[in-house]
Structures are given as structure tokens and as C-alpha cells.
Structure 1
Amino acid sequence: MAFQCQRDSYMKELVTSVVSCCPAGLKQEVNGKKETLKGFNVKLRDTILFPEGGGQPDDHGLIGEVPVLRVTRQGSDALHFVASPVEVGQEVLVKVDWERRFDHMQQHSGQHLITALADVMFGYKTTSWDLGRQRSTIELDTNSIKPAQLQELEDVVNEKIRAHISVNVQLLSIDDPAVEKVRSRGLPDDHAGPIRIIDIEGVDANMCCGTHVSNLSHLQVIKLLGIEKGKKNKTNLIFLAGNRVLKYAEKSYSTERSLVSLLKTGPDEHVEAVEKLQKSVKLLQKTNLSLLRDVAILTAQNFKNDPQRGNFFSFHK
């Protein structure tokens, strides 16, 4: 079964009905301690709230006025965890947290684009990815990526975004020959229903359950921040897409202005200014240590030369 959120990822509200509402618990961590929140798992006739899967976190939103704290998939059903019960059989208005949803759409579609081009351009296969709260990471099956390759990849990725390429969703039966031609890391054991394909026209076709933009132009821009050493001779590629790039630029500019005020230099001289400060601090620490040694020697000599000294010496500062 494909949920409404998968058929139309841009839908923000949906009127549906409650199929069931059963007591349940949600495991969570509060202040470093694991706790279980008591509540209810709600099944709806259909939903616009995406259940976690395919490397994409779940949606947040409302069922009526009741906040949905977690959405998970159970076979062909989506379970919506809520803290208070919802009446079975009633019609409800479901609303999605659109800012969170669209962010996930941008990051996930961005990952598909980067993954496809990294493979085509350099033969680097994606082995996993993580959609983080602030940045996302793609694990590539290579032990290194050259700076020139990273820049070339970023340039081509953004060229595709500017080319206004359509992103289409196809639903195929599991025995359709076309399924064999798409990129995939396999289906979950409890998969049920048609196979969902995300097709970036002329770029990539990939099996995926997540929510995506309908056109690459909706990604706005992608910034490849850099790479980190991964596990088992792999490389983690860190990226931002869409609104995250704008927020990153805003935060970076704010930090830059603060440093200008603190260091009394322009942005281009910040690194040099900090290096000078570090050298000054090291010199001061060295001088301070030398002075402390001199004080210790003088204090010991004064004690030794004091005719009225006792058998014990105590010094506190």
C-alpha cells in the first residue's frame, strides 16, 4: 500500500477516518535516561504522515488537535503514536508539520541526486546514508575523494537543479520487468503492495519509500561541506540541501560578524588573528609557569633561611 504522503508529498492536510486506537508505549530518552511514554497507536484509513523508513525520519503533525509524536510502519499500516486516545470510526483532519516534511523532502531527493551522480561520474557507490537534524551524510564505497572531484560533483549537482528536471513517482508490481532495471538496496522483509520508484528524469531511477520533491529546482541548492573518514575504508560525504544551506549561510554570517567584533579584523584575517592569539597564549602560559617556578624556589629559600621556622611548612594560594 502507498500512503497519501507517498502519492502526493506536497499535501499538507487530509480528512480520513480512525480505524483503530490501541494502548501502546513509546521508548524515549529524557535527560540521558530511557523512559517509556504511555499512549496509543492509531491506525488511519490513510495518512499524510510519513512513517520512518528508507533512511528518512518520520513526520510530525496532528490528528485533530492531538499531536502525533511518532509514526512507524507495520506491514502495510502506519502506526501514529499519540499521548491521548482518538475515537475509532470518527473522521479526523490530519495535518503535517510542513517545515519538517519539506526539509526531509529536500534532503532525501538531494541524496538521490548526489548518489546517482557520484556513481556515474566516479563509480562511487552509496552504501548507506543518514538524514541528520542539521546535516546529512552519504557513505560512499571509496577510501578517498579528491578535492577536485568534490568540487566537480557539487558543480554538476547544482547544474541539474538549475536544469529544472522533473522527479516522478512510479508504482510497479513486484513482478514488473522494469523493477530489475532500477537502483535498489533491497526491500524490507515485511514489504507489502506495489514497488515505488523515484525517477529523476534522465538521471536516476531508484526504489524508495520516502517523500520527495516533484522537481529538482525545489532543492534550490546543494552544498557539499566536505568528507570524513568512514568505516571499513569508506568515505562519508557531508551535505546540505535547500533551506538548510540558507540557514547555514545565515548562521555563518552571524558568527563572522561576531568574530569581526571580537578580533577587530576582517573575515579574511580571522584565521591569522586566531593563530596569533594561540601563540600569545602559549607564550603567556610558558612565562607563567616559569614565574611560578621562581616563586616556589624563593618561597622554599625563605622558609629554609627563617630561624623561627617550625617542623612543618604549609603554603596556600
Structure 2
Amino acid sequence: MMSTERLYWHDAYLREWSAQIVAREQQRIALDRSAFYPESGGQPADNGWINGVAVVDVQLDEHDVVWHTLAEPIEATNVECSLDWQRRFDHMQQHHGQHLLSAAFDQLFNWRTVGFHLSTEYVTIDLTTSAASPAQLAEAEDLANQIIWQNLPILARFVSAEELASIALRKAPTVTGAIRVVSAGDFDHSACGGTHPNATGAVGQIHIRRSEKRGDSLRIEFVCGGRALHDLRWKNAMLGQIAASFSVAPNQAEQAVQRLREQEQQLRKQFQHAEQQLLEFEAKALVEQAQTIGQLKVVAQIWQREPQSVRQLANLVAQAGGVALFGVATSKPQLIFAGQGLDCGAILRQVVGAFGGKGGGSAQQAQGGIAEANDLAAALDLALSTLS
């Protein structure tokens, strides 16, 4: 079978065409000519329709045959094809935006692009650096956008070996055979088999969203064209809502949020101080009402609180001269013992061992867990009998 004639190489704006089916494999078909781009080089496959049936995936095999996976089989031999243009144009905006942004980082800082991925929501490139300042990111973003707004012509073509030797490619080709070069004016020349617009202005705009260190490289996440518009639109709407909730102008929202954060931190400190005072008062009251075993004032009780709060209360009971034998009835039942004049760790290990649990600690404070919350009362009774 002959290789598929790939129409998108000659006209990336072709949306409708006729073709013949030359091979079938269940719901996969091969055409003699196709403008559907097969998934390759980090760019997803095109979608569209063949005789009205949805094309859900497009792949290229080792013989340069483009295979189209359909939503359902079709019987015809001569077919009419149409492209999902919105998806194609979005991919062209993102892909060529990547070329321009990669070239900007290369020219400004000599950071090469070693990875590229185009998802349904954003685009990423991996650069040969582990860090970039906000100013450097903005400088590269500005340069790439200046090239977009100059609306430079984009030329995509196959070149001879002689022509290739005269072109300053940003990156050496990774394939053998005929080389297709995509040029954005004199700004960037890249070997690429993907789909691109006719001029840089069609990219619209490049907007860097964030950067992230990935080992020895830096991953840049960005969006172009329609995606950039959508991203900035929802962010602007959110900023407006935040500003309105504070009754301030959008450019004052950051200061308003900072003031709220400072107030929240102050209130949190006040709450923690008040909570500490309440726990101290509670611990004193518990010790005053505690049962006496020998010389020890023992408080044995099961709590339905956060373990951290119960642990803090147990230590305060110990500081007030008592012994705390506490159970915590949560999804993972726990025992917390604290006090002076006994070995809390030894007693706790004996008790949790009797109920199939584990734990340990020092003579002054110990903690462990058992399997069933229903056994907490029996576990405390065992601890009390051990003290007796």
C-alpha cells in the first residue's frame, strides 16, 4: 500500500476534500489523501468527519500510512471528508506559539527546549535551565508576542540538503530523509512536520501561566490565542468578584486580601490563646474532681475530640498534679496516658497489648492505638486496675 498523501503539508487551512478508502481494519480506514493530522511530535491528532461519521483518532504507521479511527464503520469507497476546524486552528495557535516562545528563550538566554506537550487545556515546554526569574519569563513572553504582532509570514516547506545547509535551524533535525522546515520570518527556523498558520499574527497572544522546576529542567506552562483569551477572561472575572466582595477596585484586591490574611492570623493566635486557657481551666477542674488511687489523682475518661486536643489536655492534667488515662473515640481509637509518679509507657504497652494494639512512650507520657472503639472503656478499666 502506498503512503498517504498528506494534504495539510501543502494547505493547513484545507477543511473539506474528497478521498478514496484504500484499506480497512474494522473501524479504522486508510485514505489515499488526507488532511487529518496524525498524532505526532507532541501535537494531538485532528478530529472531524468522513461521510458524516466522526473521526475519533488519527495515527501514522511505519509505512507512512495515515489510519483514521471512526466512531462506526462505513461501507463507501469514495468519501467526503471535513475537518473539525476549531480544534485544528486551536492546535495551530498553540503549536506555533510554542515555536515562538521556545525561540525567544533560546535567543534571550540560550535555554533550549527539550520537551513539548500540547494538552486540551494548556501547553508545556521543558527548558535547559532549573530556574527563571519573573523578569526573565516576562522578557521572553514579550519578545514572542512582539513577533506575533508583527504578523510575520510563516513558510512551511520541504527543503533540499543544499537549502538545509543554508538555514540556521534552532535545533538539529531528529529524522532522516526529507526535512520540512517551518520559518517565522527570519525570527525562527525549525524542522517540524506539524500544522501551522500562514502568519504569526494568527497565534493571537502568548500568556505564560506558571513555571515549575522538574529535575535539572524548567517546565513552562502557557496558553495561546483563544485559550489565552479564555484564561484571562475567567481570571479577570474572578478578580472582579474578589474586589467587589471587599468593596475595592480590582487593583486594590491584593492589598485587601493581605489585610484579611493578617486579621485571620491575629484572630487565630487569639483563638489559640483562648483555647489554651480553657484547656488549663478544664484540666484543673478534672484534677479537683479526680478519683484517688494511692497517692495519685486519676482522671479516666473517653473523649470524642481531636487527638491533638486530648493529648494537650492530658499533659495539662499531669502539670496540674494528676494522672490522665484518656481514650479517644475516633475512627482510629487511641489511648493517651500522662502523669507523674508512675511509668505511663509501661502501663500503656501492657494495656494496648491486651487488646491487640501498639504504642509506647516515656514514663511521663505515652500514646497508642487499639482496633475497636468499643474496647476503650475496658482498656481504661485495665489501666485503673494496674494502678490499683
State the TM bucket, normalised to the shorter chain.
0.7 to 0.9
| C-alpha distance after superposition, 1:51-89 (max 9, x if no partner) | 1112211112222222222211113111222232122x5
Q: Answer whether contact 2:291 2:299 (CA < 8 A) is retained.
A: no
299 and 148 in structure 1: CA distance in 2 versus 1, 3 angstrom threshold: closer
Whole-Å separation in 1 of the counterparts to 2:172 and 2:82: 31
Contact 2:208 2:222 (8 Å CA) reproduced: yes
- 2:24 corresponding residue in structure 1: 21
For residues 94 and 198 of structure 2, what CA distance do their matches in structure 1 show?
13
Change (3 A) 1:231 1:311: closer
Q: CA deviation at 1:115?
A: 2.2
Answering whether residue 241 of structure 2 is matched by residue 231 of structure 1, we say no
- Which is bigger in relative contact order (C-alpha 8 A, separation at least 6)? 1
2:49 is aligned with what amino acid? L
- Summarize the alignment of residues 63-212 of structure 1 with structure 2, pairs less than 5 Å apart: 63-75=50-62, 76-87=64-75, 90-172=77-159, 176-180=161-165, 181=167, 182-188=169-175, 194-212=178-196
Q: 1:229 to 1:54 in 2, by over 3 A?
A: same
Comparing 274-283 and 68-77, the one that deviates more: 274-283
Q: 1:2 to 1:147 in 2, by over 3 A?
A: farther
On the 8 A contact 1:2/1:194 being kept in 2, the answer is no
User: Counterpart of 1:107 in 2: which secondary structure?
Assistant: helix
Deviations 1:220-278 (A, max 9, x none): 2223345332332x333333221122112211111112112323322222222222222
Separation (CA, whole Å) in 1 of partners of 2:22 and 2:49: 16
Q: CA deviation at 1:208?
A: 0.6
State the alpha-carbon separation in 2 of the partners of residues 311 and 209 from structure 1: 77
Identity of aligned residues (%): 27
Matched positions, count: 294
Q: C-alpha separation between the residues in 2 aligned to 1:303 and 1:117? A: 70
The residue identity in structure 2 corresponding to 1:156 is L
Distance in 1 between the 2:241 and 2:66 partners?
46
Note if contact 1:21-1:85 (Cα within 8 Å) is conserved in structure 2.
no
TM-score scaled by length of structure 1:
0.81
Pick closer, same or farther for the CA change 1:289–1:137 going to 2, 3 Å.
same
Distance in 1 (alpha carbons) for counterparts of 2:267 and 2:142:
46
- For the residues of structure 1 that align with 2:284 and 2:133, how far apart are their CA atoms? 62
Asked if 2 retains the 8 angstrom alpha-carbon contact of 1:113 and 1:157, the reply is: yes
Return the TM-score normalized by structure 2.
Answer: 0.67
The Cα of 1:5 is off from its aligned counterpart by: 2.1
Partner Cα separation in structure 1 for residue 184 and residue 266 of structure 2: 58
Which range moved further: 104-113 or 285-294?
Answer: 285-294
Contact kept? 1:18, 1:86, Cα under 8 Å? no
Answer yes or no: is the 8 Å Cα contact 1:161–1:221 preserved in 2. yes
**Residues 64, 93 of structure 1: 8 Å contact kept:** yes
C-alpha distance 299-184 of structure 1, shift in aligned 2 (>3 A): closer
Extract unaligned runs of 5+ from structure 1. 24-39
What is the distance in 1 between the residues matched to 2:54 and 2:118? 23
SS in structure 2 at match of 1:72: strand
Q: CA deviation at 1:306?
A: 4.8
Query: Does residue 11 of structure 1 match 2:14?
Result: yes
SS at match of 1:51: coil
Could you say what the CA RMSD is over the residues aligned between the two structures, in angstroms?
A: 2.8
SS of residue matched to 2:33: coil
Counterpart of 1:256 (choices 221, 226, 239) is 239
What's the secondary structure of 1:111's corresponding residue? helix
Shift in Å at residue 104 of structure 1? 0.9
Which structure has the bigger radius of gyration?
2
Deviation at 1:183, TM superposition (A): 4.1
1:96–1:286: structure 2 CA closer, same or farther, 3 Å change rule? Answer: same
- Per the TM alignment, residue 307 of structure 1 is displaced from its structure 2 partner at its CA by 9.1
1:222 pairs with 2:206: yes
The answer to whether the 8 A contact 1:117-1:157 is kept is yes
- Report the counterpart of residue 254 of structure 2 in structure 1: 271
Aligned counterparts of 2:266 and 2:257: Cα–Cα separation in 1: 14
- Would you say the 8 A contact 2:207–2:228 is kept in 1? yes
How far apart, CA to CA, are the structure 2 residues paired with 1:100 and 1:236? 24
Select between 290-299 and 48-57 the one with higher mean Cα deviation: 290-299
Change (3 A) 1:296 1:227: closer
Consecutive unaligned residues in structure 2, runs of 5 or more: 293-297, 306-388
The CA deviation at 1:316 is 4.7
Q: Structure 1 residues 20, 103: CA separation in 2 closer, same or farther (over 3 Å shift)?
A: same
Aligned to 1:213: 197
CA contact (8 A) 1:198 1:207 kept: yes
2:34 is paired with a residue whose SS is coil
| Counterpart contact for 2:55–2:70, Cα < 8 Å | yes
